[in-house]
Structure 1
Amino acid sequence: MNSTNETSAERKTEEHGDNLLDHLNSEEGSDTEQTHFGFKQVAKEQKEAMVADVFHSVAAKYDVMNDLMSFGIHRIWKRYTIDCSGIRPGQKVLDLAGGTGDLAAKFSRIVGETGQVTLADINHSMLMVGKEKLTNMGIMSNLNYVQANAEALPFPDNHFDLVTMAFGLRNVTEKSNALASIFRVLKPGGRLLVLEFSKPSSELLSKIYDTYSFHLLPKMGQLVANDAESYQYLAESIRMHPDQETLEDMMKEVGFEQTSFTNLTGGIVALHRGFKF
């Protein structure tokens, strides 16, 4: 990428960051039919298919790229999420947008034979990669797989003790609908954990992160997955995702209580918590 494109990408990042709330207002309940797909404006009804194409493309190399992109740190973020879950044997867990099943595998062992873990993802390719991976690990008896849209979950009310969503919420078209759907399927006393890329807490870290995301990440995607465009979208989707405070407010608006978030790796990632009472 040449210097002209680099300057343009950085300018876009700043512009979209400054106008994020306007985009979210547009996305979450106005009369417009437009939403964002990365930095692009697209018709709302097109976004789901466009996101699906991204993850169909990256599914086979998803785990490898996660390790490369995060230098393995994503494993620490997920371990922290599991440690914060409070999950116990015999309980029911929904790992939403669970992809290749890193969280589901751990939860399966914790809840044991009397518990149940549902690995759900809207993308069939990701779900099949996860199913093959976990089956090869010998995890079968208490784990089931469901292709599901987070905005309209096909589960009963008050069903799960815990719902986790790791690196998936930013790809949802109507985020408030997804949060409300999650709230519905949680039992009273249940909790939601959202692990997602967020806003770095320092300006210096933010600049370093932008340089990495827009200059190096697409090149890594091209080299490893033969797909620079999908990883360009992933970088853009992170910048368009609500910051920590905005997402916490969205959780409160649909009914979650005792909400909080913890910044990880300087706010590059944040773990959000919310309870249903």
Structure 2
Amino acid sequence: MTGTTPDTEAVAPHPVLAHRYGRAEEREGFVRALFDETAPHYDRIDRIFSLGTGPGYRRRALREAGLRPGMQVLDVAVGTGLVARQAVAITGDPALVTGLDPSEGMLAEARKVLPGVTLVQGRAERIPLPDDSVDFLSMGYALRHVADLGAAFAEYRRVLRPGGTVLLLEIGRPESRLARMVERFYMGAVIPALCRIAAPRHRSGELMRYYWETIEACVPAETILGALDAAGFRDAACATELEVFRAYTARA
């Protein structure tokens, strides 16, 4: 069975951004086109954004959430494989890792660096995998791009085996005013400008500007934890580092 979700009111991760797309129904097409066009430059964008610290942080987050050798992993919104690469390193076998993404451009880049990993085009809200088929589900910095948190989390719960783990890496708004000002300047101005310089003829700067807009407009952590609880997960928690980096975990 695939794609079965309960009848609940949709919970969007952020309101419609009218200057990017006119209606909620247009969000998916806008986001997919944006990622398709920036896919060849995405790893460079990540290195600029994370100052080279991304791989180590992702591997540590996966291990701390409980990923171990031999586990079957689904990485939702796999992109160019930034999280999936670390999952392969931990599990020890690329055949144990499956990557899912709606962007064909991103999947094309992932295929270059993830030999042996199964890569599937699809959406978080309708995962083309059977029930109880994975031990660990990860999603790196893409929760803000789904249409409905409830539908996505219901699918995560469905494909995870009993006792399985979900790990959602995200970037959130800091609590302190000074940290918010620094984050706004860095992500809203500095990173988009650097990306426009690094890839001047592509939409890399627009992508990072959109990233910041979705972070600023995203629902609070309490809403995300509540949606996990409503989907049937237990022990939902959020660990925060440097007031910005969030790791949501829960058990099926």
Shift of 1:113: 4.6
Q: Distance in 2 between matches of 1:79 and 1:88?
A: 11
Shift of 1:256: 1.0
Shift of 1:114: 9.6
Larger relative contact order (Cα-Cα within 8 Å, sequence gap ≥ 6): 2
Is 1:199 matched with 2:182?
no
One of 186, 206, 230 as aligned partner of 1:253: 230
CA spacing shift, 1:145–1:216, aligned 2, 3 Å = same
Shift of 1:172: 0.8
Q: Is the 8 A contact 2:65 2:249 kept in 1?
A: no
User: Root-mean-square deviation (CA), in Å?
Assistant: 2.2
Gaps of at least 5 residues in structure 1 are 1-25
Q: Distance in 1 between matches of 2:90 and 2:189?
A: 40
Is 1:131 matched with 2:114?
no
Q: Distance in 2 between matches of 1:101 and 1:160?
A: 18
Q: What pairs up with 1:1-277 in 2 under 5 angstroms?
A: 28=11, 35-37=15-17, 40=20, 42-113=22-93, 116-135=96-115, 140=116, 143-226=117-200, 227=203, 228-264=205-241, 266-276=242-252
Q: Deviations over 1:114-154 (max 9, x none)?
A: 9611011111111110111223xxxx2xx211111101101
CA spacing shift, 1:177–1:223, aligned 2, 3 Å = same
Which has the larger Rg? 1
Q: Is the 8 A contact 2:11 2:149 kept in 1?
A: yes
Q: Distance in 2 between matches of 1:254 and 1:217?
A: 35
Gaps of at least 5 residues in structure 2 are 1-8
Q: Distance in 1 between matches of 2:93 and 2:208?
A: 38
Q: Distance in 2 between matches of 1:203 and 1:76?
A: 28
Q: Is the 8 A contact 1:89 1:114 kept in 2?
A: no
CA spacing shift, 1:197–1:225, aligned 2, 3 Å = same
Bigger shift: residues 125-134 or 113-122: 113-122
CA spacing shift, 1:83–1:114, aligned 2, 3 Å = closer
Equivalent residue of 2:232, what SS?
A: coil
Shift of 1:175: 1.9
CA spacing shift, 1:27–1:54, aligned 2, 3 Å = farther
Taking structure 1 as the reference length, the TM-score comes to 0.80
Bigger shift: residues 163-172 or 201-210: 201-210
Q: Deviations over 1:89-123 (max 9, x none)?
A: 33210011111112222322333359611011111
Larger helix share, 1 or 2? 1
Shift of 1:38: 7.6
Q: Is the 8 A contact 1:35 1:173 kept in 2?
A: no
Shift of 1:269: 1.5
Equivalent residues, number: 240
Identical columns (%): 28
Equivalent residue of 2:150, what SS?
A: helix
Taking structure 2 as the reference length, the TM-score comes to 0.87
Q: Distance in 1 between matches of 2:66 and 2:19?
A: 37
Displaced runs of 4 or more, over 3 A: 37-41, 112-115
